[in-house]
Amino acid sequence: MILICLFLGSSLSSWGQDKRPYDYARASAAEQKKGMYLLGGWSLASLGVGAVGYGLSQGEEERAFHEMNMIWGGINLAIIGGSVLLMKPAEPGLSLADARKKQRKVQNIYLINTGLDLLYMGAGAALLATADRYPGQEEGRRGYGKSILLQGGFLFAYDGFEYLVQKRLGRPLFREEGWSCRPASSSLGLALRYRFP
C-alpha cells in the first residue's frame, strides 16, 4: 500500500512538475499586467486632471499641485511603457529554480518600491511642514507637498497591494521540498508526502 502511494504520488507530482512553475509565472505576469493598467489609468488621470486643473487654477498653491500631478503622471507613464516593453512572457519549459528567481525579483521590486513610496510621502510632508520658512514660495511648496503626498500615497497602496498579491501567488513555489510526515487530515494515521523540487 505504501509503495503504491509513493509511486502514484511521485508520478502525479512529476507529471505536473514542468507545468506548475510555468503556470505560476504566467499568473504572476498576468497580475503585473493588470497592475500596469491600473497604474496607467491613475497616471492618465493625473495628467488629464492636472492639465485641466492647472489651466483653471486661481492661486499658486493650486497651480503647483496640478503641475506636480502632471509631472508624476508623465513619469509614471514613461516607467509603465518601459516596463511593458521589457516584460517577457513566461516560457513553457521554465524550471522551478528559474520561476523562483523570477518571482523573488518581482516581489523585491514591489517591496523596494513600497519603501521608496514612503520616502516620497516623507518628502511631501517635509515640503508642507517647511513651507512657511520660505517667504514668497510658501504656496508653491504647499501645492507640491500635497501633490507628492497624494501621489506617494497612491503608489504606496498600489505597490504594497501588488507585493502582497505577488507573495500570495508565489507562495506555492517556495514550499518545502522533500519528505514530510504529518497527521492525516481526513482520517486517523499519518500522511507521508514528498514534494519534488
Q: What confidence tens digit (pLDDT) does each residue in 17-32 have?
A: 445 888 889 999 999 9
Query: Rounded to an integer, what distance in angstroms lies between the CA atom of residue 176 and that of residue 166?
Result: 18
What total of structural domains would you count in the chain? Answer: 1
Please give the pLDDT value at position 17. Answer: 44
pLDDT at 101 over 50: yes
70: three-class secondary structure by DSSP: helix
Query: Rounded to an integer, what distance in angstroms lies between the CA atom of residue 151 and that of residue 147?
Result: 6
pLDDT at 170 over 50: yes
Q: What is the pLDDT of residues 133-147, one digit of tens each?
A: 999 999 999 999 999
Name which of 10-19, 39-48, 73-82 the model is least confident about: 10-19
pLDDT at 99 over 50: yes
192: three-class secondary structure by DSSP: strand
CA 84 to chain centre: 14
Query: Rounded to an integer, what distance in angstroms lies between the CA atom of residue 131 and that of residue 149?
Result: 14
**Residue-number span of the structural domain to which 155 is assigned:** 2-87+95-195
Please give the pLDDT value at position 173. Answer: 87
Give the residue with greater pLDDT, 189 vs 126: 126
Distances (CA, A) of 137 to 12, 141, 144, 151: 68, 6, 11, 21
Contacts of 81 (CB under 8 A, 6+ apart): none
pLDDT at 178 over 60: no
Please list the alpha-helical segments (H only) found in the chain: 2-17, 19-56, 60-86, 96-130, 138-170
Instruction: Give, as one character, the DSSP assignment of residue 132.
Output: G
Q: What is the pLDDT of residues 74-97, one digit of tens each?
A: 999 999 999 888 888 778 888 888
